[in-house]
Amino acid sequence: MSRVALITGAAQGIGAATAKRLAADGVAVAVADVDTEQAEALTATLPGPALAVHVDVTDRTTIEAGVQETERTLGPITDLVNNAGIQRIGASESLDPARWAEVVAVNLTGVFECCQVVGSRMLAAGRGAIVNLASSNSERGMPGRTPYCATKTGVVGLTRALATEWAARGVRVNAVEPGYIGTPMVANAIQMGLIDEDGLLDRIPARRVGAPAEIAAAIAFLLSRDASYVTGTTLAVDGGFLAYGAPAPTSADQTRTLDP
Ligand code: NAI
């Protein structure tokens, strides 16, 4: 059966990698972003049917218009990837409430509204799969990132609740938690000195940041029929980052026997 995916925030980074992966898998793709120019440039490179749609996930009118345009051009949406996300950094005690609201609007309310608009159509069709982008910050705190951590934890809760509500009606809802992935978001943080690259790699058992295509592969799996019995789950794709609980590494061989 033919598939049509709408991916928010797909003009660059993980969203763009997901658009490329799904298009290569034979899925028709709507590249939904506020950056229409970059969305159109990406769409022109995709194999198979594809469309750039102007969607601002904080503006329901544009979500509804983008969904209608996608369905008119490509057919009924079977796959939704809620990938658009923003990061605003600042000390919590002095954070401008407008910055808080901005992050909540994109990272949490935007995800819910896209689930609502697209999900209601999927429920009517009796089929569909949704993947929401959470983060390792859904599970771990980080100074200066209170709105980001709070909204990304919220995405995990939203995913679980929706999955339980819609499972019997043919719509699966899952989340992916990327660790540190080589996209502009992480590159900028390293460049600004907000993340120490060596210190970061010490915390990742795989000893490298991930590639956007590795997140796209996890998203593609969760959307596919291979995941037909998977719903309400959150898949960490992080090179072991969340699993690692040891103190900062030393040069000692931690696996040597301690037996006398
Ligand atoms: P990015 O910053 O490279 O790209 C985000 C895209 O979203 C951009 O194309 C931007 O134009 C679009 N966008 C922003 N606001 C929007 C809005 N209101 N409506 C529609 N589109 C909007 O981001 P990246 O790094 O590719 O991250 C994608 C997702 O993965 C985000 O939800 C992010 O929080 C999450 N994530 C990323 C990690 C990383 O290491 N890069 C780690 C953990 C989670």
DSSP letters of 124-169?
HHT-EEEEEE--GGGTS--TT-HHHHHHHHHHHHHHHHHHHHHGGG
pLDDT digit string (tens) for 150-179?
999 999 999 999 999 999 999 999 999 999
Task: Please indicate whether residue 244 is annotated as part of the active site.
Answer: no
Instruction: Say whether pTM exceeds 0.85.
Output: yes
Minimum-distance ligand 1 atom for the alpha carbon of 10: 9
Burial of 39 (0-12, 13-18, 19+ CB in 10 A): buried
Q: Mention every residue, 6+ apart, whose C-beta is less than 8 A from residue 137.
A: 145, 148, 149, 152, 153
Closest CA to 63 of 122, 16, 115: 115
248 has pLDDT over 80: no
Average pLDDT on 216-236 reads 98
pLDDT level of residue 203 (50, 70, 90 thresholds): very high
Check residue 188 and give its pLDDT. Answer: 85
Residue 120 pLDDT exceeds 80: yes
- Span from the CA of 184 to the centroid of ligand 1 (angstroms): 9
Please compute the mean of the pLDDT values over residues 202-229 and round it to a whole number: 97
Whose tokens are 């592969």? That residue is 217
- Residue minimizing CA distance to atom 10 of ligand 1: 9
| CA atoms of 242 and 172, how far apart (whole Å) | 25
Backbone φ and ψ for 163, nearest 5 degrees, come out as: -60, -40
Question: Token pair of 198, please?
Answer: 């060596």
Closest CA to 146 of 101, 189, 112: 101
CA of 111 to the centre of ligand 1 (A): 12
Kindly state the percentage of the chain with pLDDT values over 70: 100
pLDDT band at 194; cut points 50, 70, 90: confident
34-80 per-position pLDDT tens digit: 999 999 999 999 999 999 999 999 999 999 999 999 999 999 999 99
